Amino acid sequence: MSIWSASLLALFVWWFSTGAILWVVKVADRRGGNAGTLATLWGLPMLALGIFGFWSTLDDMSAQGAVLAFLSALAIWGWIELAFLTGVITGPNTYPLPPNTPEWERFIRAWGTLAYHEMLLVFTLISMFLVEWNMMAGNKFATWTFAVLFFARISAKLNLFWGVPRINVDFLPNALAHLATYFRIRPLNWLFPISVSALTFAAACWLERMHGAETQGQIIGFALLSVITALALLEHWVMVLPIPDEKLWRWMLPAPKQPTPKATTLKGGHHGL
């Protein structure tokens, strides 16, 4: 596998899996009831495949091992995101934020809406690291991939809670509709240039490691990490650039049954979940 084919694979899997998860969540919203919980349960085989792939590639330093490790991390991540978007694993705060809430309380309550989800992500990342350390694994691309996704997602959510110029809540599922009251719109918060710079530096480091790698497996692995980090960087910029990203998925997302007074859209482009 070449660097270009590995990069295209990463792009395809990212966009396809994102669209598939959004589609499942929207269908669950339309059906109501326990549809979100059932969708999460039906997604458990994806989690099992991710765990199996992670375990089976710990000592595989070939190009195929690097790709399978990358896909395994995405499978584990995808199930956790599905559980979050369907409302199965979120946090204790499931109600809208009262108006005129002080800034410090706004942030604490906002983070409370994600508490269980973030705790699961942290537990998963630590578990992957401990397994690799205990097994003295040579293939660490699954853990690195998960770490990139985790830290990119954390910084994206912090940017939304502290304020970005353009936010669109078009994709917020019913279980997370209350999050719209936690997001803020402001010219730009201080975290944005820091998080963008950190992701840019990380992408540059992966590229440097790729060019200095000695084996084909390492080259492919670092190429995949470079692409996924670049995609995370692009997601950050979409939060502040006037790009209506809802058009990317509008053609495949089921339309709601009927408009409701609770459907509130803030001006702009991206919600970054």
What pLDDT digit, counting tens, does each position of 82-112 carry? 999 999 999 888 888 887 888 788 888 888 8
Residue 266 in this model has a pLDDT that exceeds 60? no
Backbone angles phi, psi at 177, to 5 degrees: -60, -30
Residue 265 in this model has a pLDDT that exceeds 50? no
Whole-number pLDDT of residue 242: 67
Whole-number pLDDT of residue 246: 52
CA dihedral 247→249→253→256, nearest 10 degrees, is: -30
| Spatial separation of the C-alpha atoms in residues 81 and 50, rounded to whole Å | 14
Residue 243 in this model has a pLDDT that exceeds 70? no
- For residue 234, give every residue at least 6 positions away whose Cβ sits within 8 Å of its Cβ, in sequence order, or none: none
Number of H helices and number of E strands within the chain? 10, 0
Q: What percent of the chain has pLDDT over 90?
A: 38
- The residue ranking higher by pLDDT, 271 or 174, is 174
Instruction: State the average pLDDT over residues 242-248.
Output: 55
Give this prediction's pTM: 0.85
Q: What percent of the chain has pLDDT over 70?
A: 88
What is the SS3 assignment for 185? strand
| Spatial separation of the C-alpha atoms in residues 212 and 234, rounded to whole Å | 25
Backbone angles phi, psi at 171, to 5 degrees: -95, -5
| Spatial separation of the C-alpha atoms in residues 273 and 270, rounded to whole Å | 9
Whole-number pLDDT of residue 247: 54
Q: Is 72 within 8 Å of 60 (Cβ atoms)?
A: no
Domain boundaries, the chain: 3-252
Residue 244 in this model has a pLDDT that exceeds 70? no
Instruction: State the average pLDDT over residues 200-209.
Output: 92
Which range among 19-23, 202-206, 245-249, 268-272 has the greatest average pLDDT? 202-206
Residue 271 in this model has a pLDDT that exceeds 50? no
Whole-number pLDDT of residue 263: 43
Side-chain-side CA neighbours of 9 within 13 Å: the count stands at 19
Whole-number pLDDT of residue 79: 95
